[in-house]
Structure 1
Amino acid sequence: MSVSVKPKPPAWLLLVFTLPTAKASERVGVWRKLQRYGAVALPASGYVLPNNSMNQERFEWLATSIRSSKGQAAVAHVCSFDELRNEQIEHMFNEVRTREYQVLEKELLKKFGKPPNRDKSEPGILRLTRRLQQIVEIDFFGSPIRARIEEAVQQLESENGREKAREGKKSPKDYVGRTWITRPQPGIDRVSSAWLILRYIDPQAKFTFDKDPRHHPDAIPFDMFSAGGFGHVGNDCTFETLVKSFGIKDSRLRLVAQAIHDADLADERFGRAEALGVDRILDGWNKQGMANEEVLRKGVEMIDGLYNGIR
């Protein structure tokens, strides 16, 4: 009897590239993307990432971009490196991520550390939460200080959520006839929030799009990176915040909220995948350059279908 052993896939992806010296801005752009992807520079040359489909796609697209700028680039699958054991490379990744966590921790202590200097402004909490999510996404091997930073941010979010809850429930009648403002290129959280506003708060609500709500002082902000209005609170996405703020009781809406949460925050908290496809479609329409109003209109129709079909 013969036994075949499936070969172990390569552990690493290696990107090596060169760019003409005149392409300074392109070089900076490549470096920033490598930072965002969590790639680590090897002592000799090239950048390395753990081998998975997402990282391969990122490296391949980056290599294509480099070649389009008259540079040279190659992506290789690597099983091992002569002078670096896999454990050493993993340690290099953890060192970089640990430094990033430490920077975040210093900012947490500076902005939210001790009374009376403690600033619990919602935009600041949201920005730090999203920065944490970005680092966690590329923390491939589990930095030893990750749990400590996550706990600190979660505590801050919980305190902020309790303060928001104490403000009391909102009445829909106080929001009738208003214009609501959110960021351009609406995704799953903003589109579903608009659907909720139209269905439960004001069927005649109007919507506008701008990155700066100060340009529309009379509009109600939602899912904006600014104080006021409605946004992420604690572990809740904007859709969940609206449901709780207006005290909406609807058992099917609770299921929709869970699906929107999982699609928007990608934390698999409720194990629901119903809204993931809607999120991908919205992203595709935005990338096509479809007008914000059209994305919102068509997206609201999809959320209506999701509400009627979810079980």
Structure 2
Amino acid sequence: MSYSWLIFIVSLPTRNAAGRMRVWRALKALGCGVLRDGVYLLPYHPEFRQTLQLQAEDVAAGGGNAHILALNSETDEQQALFEHFFDRSADYAKLVEGVRQTADMCLQTEDPAKLQKQVHRLRKDFEAIALQDFFPGAAQEQTAAALEDLEHAVHERLVPDEPHAVQQQIKRLQPQDYQHRIWATRQRPWIDRLASAWLIRRFIDSEARIIWLRAPADCPAEALGFDFDGAVFTHVGAKITFEVLLASFGLTKDAALNRIGALVHYLDAGGIPVLEAVGLETLMSGMRQRWTDDDKLLAEAEKIFDAFYQAFQEPTHE
């Protein structure tokens, strides 16, 4: 039988203050609704059931008792009442206000690091709320749109030379026609340019010479430009430059490269979160500060992408 709801009833001795706080924090992290003191509500999911069972065992070990009930709403009115316990509209409204304040700061501040930090914090706050928004609706959609608009505005402010996506057919190319070439992109590369340069040298043109442009207009006529407006390889539709290169050179059948593509896409353009994104972003940010020479930065970044590629390989069975 399928159920709609889980109810967790817990009682701990008053002397066990540490245990009570530990359980309360765990239930809050799950996003539980509170029916009354000691009675908590969650939509039914097997993983929630397992987590509550762990909490029940912790409660029992602390001298208390806990019960987990699985049930369905008796009426539509009760269903609506239960769902109301998970209304995150107030959280989204607070976040939208933060988005508006940051948008104002975008027009005034001369501190790009502070601006980026604020936008990243807002994105993480949104993801945290969405994770506990079990019945998403218009409030989530409105907040997501406002946050995306802010991210685009900040992106335009901080990196005005970043390419704009074009709508065109991606042609299938042969790597043998692109050997021993000069490849050019904008200097002080970030995630898409670094990953694309690694991809070029690792899978397309092993003898590629990468040059770093002060401005896109400086690109030599004989060079293959990438990741700027007017470049040979740049954003197409929803695809970032790394993904365009994958498609252009027939590399999309490589599952490990596709996983790296999803990771790079999220860090460069947003979209679907990827588990490894926070770690890679932190690494790249630190490396970019440490190595001001772009050739040295790429050499170090290539080690990171090699490691990710190895880790994303399908395990071999001997």
TM-score, length-scaled by structure 2: 0.53
Q: Report whether the alignment pairs 1:162 with 2:156.
A: yes
Q: Report whether the alignment pairs 1:10 with 2:16.
A: no
- Structure-2 separation of matches of 1:255 and 1:83: 44
Q: Find the partner of 1:79 among 72, 76, 81.
A: 72
Alignment-derived partner of residue 217 in structure 1: none
Q: Cα–Cα, structure 1 residues 154 and 15, in superposed 2: closer, same or farther, change >3 Å? A: same
Paired residue secondary structure (2:85)? helix
Q: Report whether the alignment pairs 1:26 with 2:29.
A: no
Alignment-derived partner of residue 216 in structure 1: none
The alpha-carbon deviation at position 158 of structure 1 amounts to 1.6
Q: Find the partner of 1:304 among 284, 289, 310.
A: 310
Q: Report whether the alignment pairs 1:98 with 2:89.
A: yes
Q: Which amino acid aligns with 2:127?
A: Q
- Structure-2 separation of matches of 1:118 and 1:57: 49
Q: Find the partner of 1:147 among 141, 144, 166.
A: 141
Q: Cα–Cα, structure 1 residues 119 and 137, in superposed 2: closer, same or farther, change >3 Å? A: farther
Q: Aligned ranges for residues 226-245 of structure 1 at < 5 Å?
A: none
The alpha-carbon deviation at position 69 of structure 1 amounts to 3.1
Alignment-derived partner of residue 67 in structure 1: 60
- Structure-2 separation of matches of 1:100 and 1:165: 30
- Structure-2 separation of matches of 1:255 and 1:82: 46
Residues 138-189 of structure 1, C-alpha deviation per residue, up to 9 Å, x if partnerless? 11112432111111111111223334443675558x99xxxxxxxxxxxxx9
Q: Cα–Cα, structure 1 residues 81 and 118, in superposed 2: closer, same or farther, change >3 Å? A: farther
Q: Is the 8 A contact 2:19 2:62 kept in 1?
A: yes
Q: Cα–Cα, structure 1 residues 255 and 67, in superposed 2: closer, same or farther, change >3 Å? A: same
Q: Which amino acid aligns with 1:55?
A: F
Structure 2, unaligned runs of 5 or more: 163-184, 203-239, 280-302
Q: Cα–Cα, structure 1 residues 152 and 73, in superposed 2: closer, same or farther, change >3 Å? A: same
Residues 94-144 of structure 1, C-alpha deviation per residue, up to 9 Å, x if partnerless? 2xx112112222322333336436986111111110110111121111243
The alpha-carbon deviation at position 248 of structure 1 amounts to 10
Q: Report whether the alignment pairs 1:260 with 2:268.
A: no
**What's the % identity of the aligned pairs?**
19
Q: Cα–Cα, structure 1 residues 301 and 105, in superposed 2: closer, same or farther, change >3 Å? A: closer
Q: Which amino acid aligns with 1:100?
A: D
Q: Find the partner of 1:116 among 88, 108, 112.
A: 108
Residues 252-294 of structure 1, C-alpha deviation per residue, up to 9 Å, x if partnerless? 3863433436999xx9859xxxx98xx7xx9xxxxxxxxxxxx
Q: Aligned ranges for residues 34-45 of structure 1 at < 5 Å?
A: 34-43=27-36, 45=38
- Structure-2 separation of matches of 1:132 and 1:15: 27
Q: Is the 8 A contact 2:260 2:308 kept in 1?
A: no
TM-score, length-scaled by structure 1: 0.54
Superposition RMSD in Å: 4.8
Q: Is the 8 A contact 1:17 1:73 kept in 2?
A: yes
Q: Cα–Cα, structure 1 residues 110 and 67, in superposed 2: closer, same or farther, change >3 Å? A: farther
- 255-264 or 99-108, which moves further after superposition? 255-264
Q: Cα–Cα, structure 1 residues 48 and 303, in superposed 2: closer, same or farther, change >3 Å? A: same
Q: Cα–Cα, structure 1 residues 268 and 23, in superposed 2: closer, same or farther, change >3 Å? A: same
Alignment-derived partner of residue 231 in structure 1: none
- Structure-2 separation of matches of 1:127 and 1:159: 16
Paired residue secondary structure (1:129)? helix
Q: Is the 8 A contact 1:98 1:143 kept in 2?
A: no
Q: Which amino acid aligns with 1:21?
A: T
Q: Is the 8 A contact 2:259 2:312 kept in 1?
A: yes
- Structure-2 separation of matches of 1:247 and 1:10: 42
Q: Aligned ranges for residues 179-194 of structure 1 at < 5 Å?
A: none
Structure 1, unaligned runs of 5 or more: 1-6, 176-188, 201-243, 283-296
Paired residue secondary structure (1:260)? helix
Q: How many residues align?
A: 218
Q: Cα–Cα, structure 1 residues 83 and 55, in superposed 2: closer, same or farther, change >3 Å? A: same
Q: Cα–Cα, structure 1 residues 31 and 160, in superposed 2: closer, same or farther, change >3 Å? A: same
Q: Flag the structure with larger Rg.
A: 2
